[in-house]
Chains A and B, each alone.
Chain A
Amino acid sequence: MLDIQDLSIRFTRYTFGLKKKETCVVQGLDLSIAPGQVMAVIGQSGAGKSLLAHALLGILPRNAQVEGRVFFKGKPLTPERLSTLRGREIALIPQSITALNPLLRVGVQVARAARLSGISKKDAPTTVNRAFSRYLLQKEVATWFPFQLSGGMARRVLTATATVGMADLILADEPTSGLDPATAKEALGHLRELADTGKAVLLITHDIEAALKIADMVTVFCAGTTVEVASADDFKGLGQLRHPYTRALWNALPANSFIGTMKPIERSPNTTGCPFQTCCNEQDAVCGHSTPELKHSSAGRVRCHHA
């Protein structure tokens, strides 16, 4: 369905005077999803997860440059092609509930998304109603303004907006943040159902444990780079995980008694080598010289000199 190879994202900023400054926030990002699959994307805050979703949809700010190869349904995803796919075949569940316009009624916003996704004017009302009832939103919620929604309701409205059409690829950016465990479980259940109907779901999340319950595969980002791709089953025990960063994440889970602490890892602009080297206890000279390749390793992939 989707195949991303060696994606990089750079921001250009003008600092004092007219000096141009480039910051590279994502480099060497690889990811692929098959139809019917839930691919979880995990990584610390600032790892570039939201940027990936926005880059795929071409909605980054104008000072961002994206490079790399992206294939959607087997064909290269060019900007021209993207403009016909946005909202129709690729849909986004945004991270923040400020994505709803405060001055427009909720129903109007969902209906507009339905029309944009290619649903006819005649069918739009029934489709919107169906989306509302699927996410347990009462009919009258359609006449409300976003400020009248609770946080959880707002999330469900966002999910309804993204899934009202028939998009084949759904990019869900932290769809469970701010939800209580029961509601979060339900929201993830809906995503699993969508995947079971043949759609591909990219699930961006902090909550590894919850994600593992519905994900087929997991991609791990560290400082804007893919460091490991593993099947969800590999997370059953430490032994199956190939990259030291993934193992550190796994160790930091509550169920695994928080062994080790995680400090934020940032891409420093002029270091060469492995993005994780400063925090790695298996680090040696070679890690500082060269960035490791993303190698195939049994069912998954890993970017480490020592795996």
Chain B
Amino acid sequence: MITQFLLVKTFRLILLIAAVATLSFVLVSSSPVDPVDAYVGAAMLRISPDQREVIAKRWGLDRPPVERFGRWAGQMATGNFGVSTIFNEPVLSVIGKRFITSFWLMALAWSLSGALGFGLGLIAGAREDTLLDRSIRLYAYTMASTPTFWVGMILLMIFSVSLGWTPVCCAWPPGLSAEQATLWQRLHHLLLPAITLSLIGIAQITLHTREKTIEALRSDYSIFARAQGESTIGIVFRRALRNVALPAVTLQFASLGELFGGAVLAEQVFAYPGLGRTTVEAGIRGDIPLLLGIVLFSTIFVFTGNFMADLIYHLVDPRLRKATGAIS
């Protein structure tokens, strides 16, 4: 049963990648950005129409789109994503390096928002309609309707500019390379972007956990637990924790897409050289190979999140676990 689950998921992933690849190809082909212009850049004026034609021919731009797509897809399938024009480096190696920088930012923000959001949601739900609950809700609603870049700028102004506690930009001190920076320096630079990113993520998980906690506390099993003499704290921690945590963990994994989107903005504000910032650069400067590479990469990234969410449900929920043959 579990193998069937994996097979279905793999098949879906392949379909999804094919669809995303086709769509991006169509979008790029019909975009006003001329690939030759983008390639020659500032030298555009010093180049003759003949030379342009030579380049276009070498790149196969005189071929019909379907044939171009076939060749491109074929190259992708063998793992050749081309060379990034702005970094002059293979696309995969650019994505790899930048993703690792982003990964620590996203991982820290993700765990912070997950843990804090879940905790706040539990407290708000267990103390429904008290002052505490109202304050938590007010905070969550405010955060849910605040743009990431704005929060980032406010934090930057307070902690970096006025107080000078945290650096104003980058992932490590300017002038050093990634390898030269100490772990402490990197954490110091990571702190503010990660907090910005998590502050926004907290809202959704808090409100969701609060709803689930209230629902759990009103359920028949909680009422029966109360009849057995269990206190509210006891019900929340000894009875309903699993019922609340399971959907919360699922939501947290399924929200990787939003995390990625948030990272693009947060990295932009803090000039943090991660994948999000690279995406913006690739877009602005017309680096088509890199842009396509990032699109496919983020597709797989978001898919993995949803896949983890499903997998956890299958492994933890006894009703589904029975169906997948994991319990007797």
Please report A residues at the B interface, Cβ cutoff 8 Å: 54, 57, 59, 61, 83, 86-88, 91-92, 94, 96, 98-104, 112-113, 116-117, 145, 147-148, 161
Contacts and interface: CB of A to CB of B under 8 A. Distances in A.
B228 A100 contact: no
Contact of A92 (B218, B227, B318, B319): B227
Given A86-B228, A112-B228, A148-B322, A99 B223 contact: yes
Contacts of B230: 87, 112, 116
B32 interface: no
B165 interface: no
A104 B224 contact: no
A252 to B, nearest CB: 30
Given A101-B239, A145-B318, A161 B223 contact: no
B71 interface: no
Contact of A59 (B223, B240, B242, B243): B223
Contacts of A88: 229
Contact of B318 (A83, A112, A116, A147): A147
Contact of B220 (A96, A104, A145): A96
A147 B221 CA distance: 14
B288 to A, nearest CB: 49
Contacts of B318: 102-103, 145, 147
Contact of B239 (A83, A96, A104, A161): A104
A99 B229 contact: no
Residue among B218, B221, B226, B319 having the largest count of chain A Cβ atoms under 10 Å? B221
A299 to B, nearest CB: 32
A61 B223 CA distance: 9
B246 interface: yes
Contacts of B218: 61
15 contacts: A59-B226, A59-B227, A61-B218, A83-B229, A87-B230, A96-B220, A101-B240, A102-B243, A103-B242, A103-B243, A103-B318, A112-B230, A117-B228, A145-B318, A145-B322
A86 B230 CA distance: 8
Interface of B: 218-221, 223-230, 238-240, 242-243, 246, 317-319, 322
- Secondary structure class of chain B's binding surface, majority of residues: helix
A91 to B, nearest CB: 8
A145 B238 CA distance: 16
A102 B220 CA distance: 11
A23 to B, nearest CB: 19
B224 A103 contact: no
Contact of B221 (A86, A87, A91, A98): A98
Contacts of A113: 228
A92 B224 contact: yes
B227 A102 contact: no
Given A116-B229, A116-B230, A99 B224 contact: yes
Nearest to B128: A62
Nearest to B327: A145
Nearest to A84: B229
Given A98-B220, A117-B229, A112 B238 contact: yes
Contacts of B240: 101
B228 A94 contact: no
A167 to B, nearest CB: 10
A116 B242 CA distance: 20
A87 B226 CA distance: 8
Contacts of A100: 221, 224
A113 B227 CA distance: 10
A96 B220 CA distance: 8
A124 to B, nearest CB: 13
B224 A94 contact: yes
A147 B240 CA distance: 17
A117 B221 CA distance: 17
B228 A104 contact: no
Contacts of B228: 86-87, 91-92, 112-113, 116-117, 161
Given A92-B224, A96-B220, A112-B238, A102 B319 contact: yes
Nearest to A89: B229
A165 to B, nearest CB: 8
Contacts of A57: 226-227
B246 A103 contact: yes
A154 to B, nearest CB: 12
Contact of A103 (B227, B317, B322): B317
A208 B65 CA distance: 81
B227 A94 contact: yes
B309 to A, nearest CB: 17
Contacts of B319: 102, 145, 147
A59 B229 CA distance: 10
Contact of B229 (A87, A94, A104): A87
3 smallest CB-CB distances across A and B, nearest first, come from A87-B229, A99-B224, A87-B228
Contacts of B246: 103
Nearest to B239: A101
Nearest to A95: B220
Given A103-B318, A116-B228, A116-B230, 14 more contacts: A59-B227, A86-B226, A86-B229, A87-B229, A92-B224, A94-B227, A98-B220, A98-B221, A100-B221, A103-B243, A103-B246, A112-B225, A112-B238, A147-B318
Given A104-B242, A112-B238, A99 B221 contact: yes
